[in-house]
Structure 1
Amino acid sequence: MADLLSDRRLFARPARGRADWQKLRGGFQWRVPSAMNIADLCCDAWAALAPDRAAVIHVTAEGAREVWTYGDLKRASDRLAAAMAAAGIMRGDRVAVLMAQHPAVLITHFAAMKLGAVSLPLFTLFGEDALRYRLADSGARAIVCDAAQIDKVTGLRPQLPALDLIISTGQGAAPVRALDDILDTPAPGFRPVPTDAEDPAVMIYTSGTTGDPKGVLHAHRFLYGHLPCMELSQNWFPQTGDVGWTPADWAWIGGLMDMAMPCLFYGVPLVSHRFAKFDSDAALRLMAQEGVTNAFIPPTALRMMHAAVVPDDLRLRAIGSGGEPLGADLLDWGRARLRCPINEFYGQTEANLVIASCDRMMDRVPGAMGLPVPGHEVAVLGPGDTPVAAGEVGEVCVRAPDPVMFLEYWGKPEATQDKVIDGWLRTGDLALLREDGQMVFHARDDDIITSAGYRIGPVEIEQALVAHPDVVMAAVVGAPDPVRTQVVVAHVVLRDGAEWSGLPERLKALVRDKVSAHVVPRKIYRAETLPMTATGKILRRALREG
């Protein structure tokens, strides 16, 4: 077992607590095998070596604890793969996964991959229109879903001519097959099909903040592309006794690839639990109960946990977070109350985990994404693809090719061509380049507010607003103005019991003090909730259009 793990680690652990990030970057070489399959790397290889090794620890809604070994995952995924193959599912077909956190999610991914098919993770919160679009656009031929989703899926089936096979965790009744019955049926002689690193493996839809969602098709190699960031941002992950967990849905690239699959690749037990609704106190208790050492926790969840009671017996070594920038208050809270660093990182569905911070290896800069991760060439480019100087803002671009980079947008060749131009993947995100090389997220290109000649990013203003103890969440957008082109407008969600009277003026003063007078919101609106994508990102576009 030690040999398998040591062969998989990308970085030797340093003799001292801090190391030279640039030295790691300069000496890094990718070791991506030409023939590979994620299901083999994250399941079957461990099952062959240590079938009784704990892979997933599932905590049920009632609090029961189920331990799934690598041997369990292999048997189950072999049986599901055999059943899907018998139903005609084959290489290249799309297999949708519509389930909340549960070992069955991973089993389905592995089963699809063993057939050379493409797994298609989908959020259980999707309404009928969102689900119909993705299933139709992808041409999914099979779906494995929760019992709670079955009525929705069967109701859509007449509109989905490609969907041949429906499997559910509940009781099967035609045209639905029961997953439990399949997993109870041995599959003697089943053999996975061989796949290469460049073969399609997973398709994840973008959140659709602009235009229709796009299916981002990834190859098996993209697993390797995530590993440098995982090892470094999770403070020399893995170590003996590590346990991983994320509250993020595994249908999101963050939940699936920023924690779940890397844990299984490294042989680290992964905790799974389905929260009907995220509960900060319950999440902290779960981490303490299961001895979680490493977690991926999105910013929204961290902000909700900020006011919760922190158990004394937490064992956290590091938290990774991404999706929205964090402020100094959350970073300080992590160190003081959770007794661990919160390391920010950056990526997109198309090219994930390419920038990261690591408190042991660089100065902590609140709001900064960090430095380019070893193995990834990332630049902040201005007009003419010229790198910007320190102190300037430009577009974050990733040099192609890169193991973590997507193959294509499904069925959208023109969009694919527009994403990768002249050897650079264009993220559409703007960042400020610091003197030390760290990149500070500025804004989405389409979130920029142009006011009186100034180009204003919303993030710094939002961070100032949520620094007020009465503000739970904030979103800043531009509103049309006949004189200034746009003016800054803020929408805030308050804590329970907060007094609104006089608060807008205090918040404006806070922004003036923390950021600048020229970015102070002209108007501040109180909101009960903010529109968000399925991955927890604020939909500023919806606020602008509303």
Structure 2
Amino acid sequence: MTQPPGVTTESQRHPAGCQPKGAAEHGHNLSGDPAAAPQPRDIATACCDALADGSRRVALLHLRRDGQVERVSYDTLRATSSRLGHVLRARGVQRGDRIGILLPPGPEAVIACLATFRLGGIAVLLGRRCGSEALAERLRETDCAAVIADAAGVCALAAVPLGSRGPRLVFCTDGAAPGTLSLWPEMARAREEIPAVTLDAEMPAMILDGAKAPHRVLHAQRAVAARRAGLRMLLGGSPEPGSLLWAPVDWARHGGLLDTVLPALALGLPLLTQATESFDAGRAARLLAQGEVRHAVLPARALRLLRDAGLRHAHRLRSLGSFDGPLEPELHDWVRETFGLPLVEGQACAEGGALAIDGRVVPGRRVAVLGPDGVPRRPGEEGMVALCRPDPGLFIGYWRDAQATAAAYRGPWLLTGLRGAMDGAGRLSPPTGDAERVEVEHCLLQHPSVAMAAVLAAPEASRATALIVPRPEARPGPDLAAELRRFLRARLEADRCPHRVAFARRLPGDVAGPAMRQALERTIGIGAGGAEC
């Protein structure tokens, strides 16, 4: 985070990376459990102001590219986001306006979100790695009044043909650029007092990506308080306030900003962020080896990259969870061997957040498995996983699409897009087909020509499709598809082998998650450019 005039942060150089020794002096070890106190229902108060008590307790530890560790306190977050709130308000941003955030995960993105929430605005998390067409689509759909971006984000915006529908304000965090306002000088002239705006729990607060593309998921201010219980369960039930959390997740999707980042801040868990957005297994292994990270929420892809990089015997974590379940048994075994603890799987959806952790329904939520008629199934029967309203964690609806919102419900039940079964004790389990899919994917990854694999239930095909990202030296085509089919048949029963093989240049990093898998399944059909074999 570039230090603005009049705003203090705490930085310290560590040649080996993140070694925040002596953090207790800066509030790294907190006294008292913020989770034990009643939580305000507006996001800025719950995630920042309630803990900004003048003690400079750490909210974020940011690993900068120059090797420094930047400690950002809750006090700094409150002062800086209040300044930004005044800047936005002075520039005409009003309650209900959308603010696009095109920043890497880190302090500046948190400040931009908090400032938006303070004004009663709606934060729109814009994908950093999406193409110009996808970025243009998101900006047009949400009609952002302003965008806060770094230099790379400004360049991405310049390539987007928006015409008159573009944002009227663009703030750049990296200094002046043509057609933009330099953010920090603007903030230097602003007050640190919290903007006097009346907020309520039902006020729209953020738009996230959903599984049911092209729908955007609109959440209210109340959503963060409702998600603290899910994160606590994922992290072992009672994470000690002040213990460091690392979560290199996609902030724009489920499991990211709303399910992990903001609830962690509300629980008093300092969050480790990094200037680099791509996941580097070697760097991650060194970070874990330093032993300061106590809890981690990792996507499936990150776990597999760490495993493939040969990480061994990293025993300092107290909990390790993922929202990308179900994951293959071999990955569970590797986590237990490497970290000496179980891999905790969360079942979640973009519209409602975490429903169950390792099969146990999150307290305060009513979950059922429904049949096609919308009637709850008997114990052990598979069906559609649904979440009952009213529920404070449920979304407001799909952005500007009342018809799609209504179609997402069966009476009081939200259809989450997940499938599973509920046993007599009320534990939720994934469908049996998921375990088979995971095994097929793991088998495909053993082939020397396969870099990534996802088995999808293509709606137009009679059976599953294996979507393959080949390694650089491999030649995708009918010959490789036939070879992969033979490879699977030699190791699995014939009726479990995908009917079709298709190739792709890349897959989303969180393809293991149900949201992205559902989106991909809608795109894979007879004309997907693969080969039947």
- Asked if TM exceeds 0.5, the reply is yes
> In the comparison of the two structures, how many residue pairs are matched?
487
AA in 2 matched with 1:428: G
Give the match for residue 453 of structure 2.
474
1:486 to 452, 462, 471: 462
1:542 to 511, 523, 533: 523
Give the stretch that moved more between structures: 250-259 or 488-497: 488-497
Give the match for residue 425 of structure 1.
414
SS of corresponding position for 1:282: helix
Q: CA deviation at 1:102?
A: 1.7
Q: CA deviation at 1:61?
A: 2.6
C-alpha separation in 2, matches of 1:379 and 1:226: 19
Give the match for residue 82 of structure 1.
86
- Is the contact made by 1:54 and 1:269 (CA closer than 8 Å) also made in structure 2? yes
Give the match for residue 518 of structure 1.
495
C-alpha separation in 2, matches of 1:160 and 1:435: 57
Asked if 1:464 is matched to 2:440, the reply is: yes
C-alpha separation in 2, matches of 1:46 and 1:312: 35
2:59 to 52, 55, 58: 55
C-alpha separation in 2, matches of 1:64 and 1:318: 26
Q: Deviations over 1:280-315 (max 9, x none)?
A: 121222233361111111112212221223265552
Q: CA deviation at 1:234?
A: 0.7
- Is the contact made by 2:369 and 2:377 (CA closer than 8 Å) also made in structure 1? yes
Give the match for residue 120 of structure 2.
116
Q: CA deviation at 1:472?
A: 5.1
C-alpha separation in 1, matches of 2:483 and 2:179: 59
Query: Under a length normalisation based on structure 1, what TM-score does the superposition of the two structures give?
Result: 0.81
2:383 to 377, 391, 394: 394
Give the match for residue 153 of structure 2.
149
- Is the contact made by 2:30 and 2:242 (CA closer than 8 Å) also made in structure 1? no
Give the match for residue 453 of structure 1.
none
Asked if 1:42 is matched to 2:21, the reply is: no
Asked if 1:505 is matched to 2:505, the reply is: no
SS of corresponding position for 2:373: helix
C-alpha separation in 1, matches of 2:196 and 2:492: 58
Asked if 1:219 is matched to 2:220, the reply is: yes
Cα 1:232–1:216 change in 2 (3 A) is same
Give the match for residue 169 of structure 1.
173
Give the match for residue 262 of structure 2.
261
SS of corresponding position for 1:354: strand
Query: Under a length normalisation based on structure 2, what TM-score does the superposition of the two structures give?
Result: 0.83
- Is the contact made by 1:291 and 1:314 (CA closer than 8 Å) also made in structure 2? no
Give the match for residue 8 of structure 1.
35
Give the stretch that moved more between structures: 271-280 or 422-431: 271-280
AA in 1 matched with 2:188: D
- Is the contact made by 1:292 and 1:314 (CA closer than 8 Å) also made in structure 2? no
Q: Deviations over 1:43-92 (max 9, x none)?
A: 12211x24411111100133321111111111211111111010001111
AA in 1 matched with 2:296: A
Which structure 2 residues correspond to residues 333-344 of structure 1 after superposition, within 5 A? 333-344=334-345
Q: CA deviation at 1:168?
A: 1.0
Q: CA deviation at 1:495?
A: 6.8
AA in 2 matched with 1:466: H
C-alpha separation in 2, matches of 1:441 and 1:296: 20
Cα 1:524–1:128 change in 2 (3 A) is closer
SS of corresponding position for 1:379: strand
AA in 1 matched with 2:179: P
Q: CA deviation at 1:427?
A: 1.7
Gaps of at least 5 residues in structure 1 are: 11-30, 358-369, 443-455
Cα 1:190–1:431 change in 2 (3 A) is closer
Asked if 1:69 is matched to 2:73, the reply is: yes
- Is the contact made by 2:34 and 2:267 (CA closer than 8 Å) also made in structure 1? no
C-alpha separation in 1, matches of 2:30 and 2:325: 38
Q: CA deviation at 1:345?
A: 0.8
AA in 1 matched with 2:398: Y
Q: Deviations over 1:505-546 (max 9, x none)?
A: 34224332xxxx533334556x46444388773423333241
AA in 2 matched with 1:476: V
AA in 1 matched with 2:496: V
Gaps of at least 5 residues in structure 2 are: 1-26, 529-533
C-alpha separation in 2, matches of 1:502 and 1:163: 50
C-alpha separation in 1, matches of 2:299 and 2:226: 20
C-alpha separation in 2, matches of 1:180 and 1:107: 12
Aligned-pair identity (%): 30
- Is the contact made by 2:34 and 2:266 (CA closer than 8 Å) also made in structure 1? no
- Is the contact made by 2:33 and 2:241 (CA closer than 8 Å) also made in structure 1? no
AA in 2 matched with 1:298: P
C-alpha separation in 1, matches of 2:30 and 2:71: 24
Q: Deviations over 1:382-420 (max 9, x none)?
A: 133222233322111100111110011111111111112
C-alpha separation in 2, matches of 1:496 and 1:163: 40
